[in-house]
Structure formats: C-alpha cells, structure tokens
Amino acid sequence: MGEELSYVDEIMEILKKELRDYEDFQNQKWKKIEKTPFTVLISCLLSLRTKDEVTIESSIRLLSKYRTPKDMAKADVKEIEKLIYPVGFYKTKARRIKEISKLLVENYNGKVPDSFDELIKIKGIGRKTANIVMMYGYDREDYLAIDTHCHRIPNRIGWIKTKTPEETERELKKKLPKKYWKDFNHLFVRFGQRICLPISPKCSECPIEKFCKKIGVDRHR
C-alpha cells in the first residue's frame, strides 16, 4: 500500500451514511432480479450514461424476461429496445447486448467468462465493465471499477492527480485501503450523480466539503 489518502476513513464513512437510505431503497429494487455474472454484465452495459433509477427499471424489465445469454441471444433486437427504453443510446445498447449474448453462447458455452482478460477481449466490454463483472458478478476482491465519477471525484478531493480512468484505477489500487474497494464504485457513482456533479457540483450541500480541496472546480453551487 502506498501513501495514505487524506481523511479516507472519514470520507468513506460519511458517504456510506449519507447514501444509506438511498442505497437500501435501490438494493431492495435490485432484489427483483437474481444476481448472476450475466445480469451484472447486462445491467452494467445498460448503466452507461444513464441514471441509476432508469438503469434499475430497465434491467428488471429486460432480465425478468431474458435471464441467460441463451435466452437473450434469441431475443428480437426491437423487443430488447422496447424493454430497455429510455436508457441512453438504447438502440446501440440493444444491438450490443444481443451480439454479446450470441458470442457468449457461441464461444463461451453460454457463460460469462470468469476472467478479466477474457472479458476485455469481447467487443463492447471495457475495463470498467470487466471490473464490475469480476467484483460483483464473481465476488472477486482484486478488482476496482472506475467510471467517470470514480475518476473525477478523487481528483477533485485531491486524493490523486490522474488524467485517465485507467491511471486512476492504478493509483487507487495502490492507495485506497482494500476494505473500501467493494463500496467505492457504487458510493462514488451515486455521489457523483447526486452531489458532486460533473459541471457545477453542489458543494454547498456536500457532506465532505471540509475534506475536499476542490481541485479544478471553477464553478460550483
């Protein structure tokens, strides 16, 4: 483990407490679909540029009907589109979901590969999605999923100084205590969607403002 991140325990504790009710509410909803590597993969693909609330509802509609790669590979793309609407880029996502499901059936025996390196070979699956599948689908501990919120916020706080999500993943793996890896992604994504917004973050109502260096934040409210 490299140098410590300042106030990491305080910040993680506050965010957990702050988002607890919201997380409980969301987790209740997720219970409507069985958690498998495939459902984790599909929900993650749906979540790109989409609010959590919309992702959850769309995932439930789609995955209640098509639970496995085999089912999904046979589904009609138009039907997938209808079920996932209004997620962002729903047409592209519907096509991609069908393609990936077919590939899983043809090349991986109808299963989501249990290997990060195999996952990122699949067109449409990037590092973030592969990390999410390994972490939440296969309950592996050595993975840390970084999306745009997880990249932006630690840079603003002053924890790290990185240019790309990949660099952030590397730095945080060195510096963030492992006990926080599992919570990090969903806490920071939700925090980024609600308070530490990409443009004009809501610093005046931010529960961790006193610990934040606001690096690169020119405009806030």
Which spans of this chain sit near ligand SF4 (rule: CB under 6 A)?
153, 156-157, 195-196, 201-203, 206, 208-209, 212, 214, 217, 220
For residue 179, the minimal CB distance to ligand SF4 (Å) is 21
State the minimum distance, in angstroms, from the CB of residue 184 to ligand SF4.
Answer: 14
Tokens 């005046």 belong to residue: 204
Closest by alpha carbon to 105, among 66, 68, 67, 64? 68
Question: Nearest approach, Cβ of 205 to ligand SF4 (angstroms)?
Answer: 8
Q: Name the token pair of 102.
A: 């077919």
- List CB contacts of 52: < 8 A, sequence separation 6 or more: 26, 189, 190, 193
Nearer to ligand SF4, 29 or 214 (CB): 214
| Smallest gap from residue 187 Cβ to ligand SF4 (A) | 12
Closer residue to ligand SF4 in complex, CB, 112/195? 195
42 vs 160, which CB is nearer to ligand SF4? 160
Tell me how crowded residue 95 is: count the other CB atoms within 10 A of its CB: 15
Cβ neighbours for 38, distance < 8 A, ≥ 6 positions apart: 67, 68, 69, 72, 104, 111, 112, 137
Least separation in angstroms between residue 155's CB and ligand SF4 is 10
Backbone angles phi, psi at 8, to 5 degrees: -60, -40
- Of the pair 9, 142, the CB lying nearest ligand SF4 is at 9
By beta-carbon proximity to ligand SF4, the closer residue of 98 and 152 is 152
Distance, CA of 26 to CA of 94 (rounded, Å): 23
At residue 55, what are phi and psi to the nearest 5 degrees?
Answer: -60, -45
